[in-house]
A = this chain, B = another copy of it.
């Protein structure tokens, strides 16, 4: 189909932005793609892979775009939104791909009425960052959350949905507060739990290579997300602090109870707890696709 938005600017050419560019190229979409990032080497790599048509190291280059996809870490996006209030052309659509939504939607609500904006969060990712990790199929068959803002017109929402669907995602609409609460549970808490596991085992292992040598698939899977980019995760945790902190408290309380049951060798209660976890987890797919 022909696109109603012939020019797309992608701000941030890391895993998410780079994959967006590659997915649209893979699909032979008609857009002209303007890639924007400060890193010259990334711009060169994106041009070399044919992911973008135009490379720029300044946000000003977004003035030519009908859609501006914001693909940087959350707090960078928060800084870019007010800058784009002056840069973007009339009627342009800002669509972000940040992992938390309340702060971003708030910033979008403050945009001038001549612009439109939709919050977005593709529920996929890898623990490797950067354009080198980008892949045309990153979004395929993954959920792409869209969140309405005070700058979301019907046309803007349709355009955001069309973009998400064109890269193979399944769109789910959520309001910002509910999105942030859910991802705190299913994404941010797992990350914190995994990072803390790595640091606990790291302190146990010290420099004993044999400990890591023995670590098998269970350790690798449980801790995969702990390798995520620290800057990206820091932005996520700090912009979803209350939800994450609430869930960390709930997690810690439950963990203490489990430790008490083990110390007391309370076999029946332990069995109930472990069985509940197994039965809750089993219906899910075994593993991520990456």
Q: Which residues of A contact B (CB under 8 A)?
A: 123-125, 127, 142-143, 145, 172, 174, 182-183, 185-187, 189-205, 210-231, 233-234, 237-238, 241, 244-245, 247-252, 254-256, 258-259, 262-263, 265, 267, 270-271, 273-278, 280-282, 284-290
Taking CB atoms, residues of chain B closer than 8 Å to A258 are 192, 195-196, 248
Identify 9 new A-B residue pairs, CB closer than 8 A, beyond the known A185-B200, A241-B265, A287-B287: A127-B281, A198-B280, A198-B281, A200-B254, A204-B250, A222-B223, A222-B224, A227-B281, A248-B255
What B residues does A192 contact at CB under 8 A? Answer: 255, 258
Q: Complex: how many Å from CA A170 to CA B244?
A: 41
**CA–CA, A44 and B193, complex, Å:** 43
Nearest-CB distance from A124 to chain B (Å)? 6
Chain B residue numbers with a CB within 8 Å of A202 are: 276-277, 280
User: Nearest B residue to A142 by beta-carbon distance?
Assistant: B216
A219: chain B residues within 8 A (beta carbon) = 186-187, 190, 284
* CB-defined contacts of A221 to chain B, threshold 8 Å: 221-222, 224-225, 287-288
Which residues of chain B come closer than 8 Å to A271, judged between CB atoms? 230-231, 234
Q: Which residue of B lies closest to A241 (CB)?
A: B262
List of B residues within 8 angstroms of A277 by Cβ:
194-196, 198-199, 202, 226-227, 230
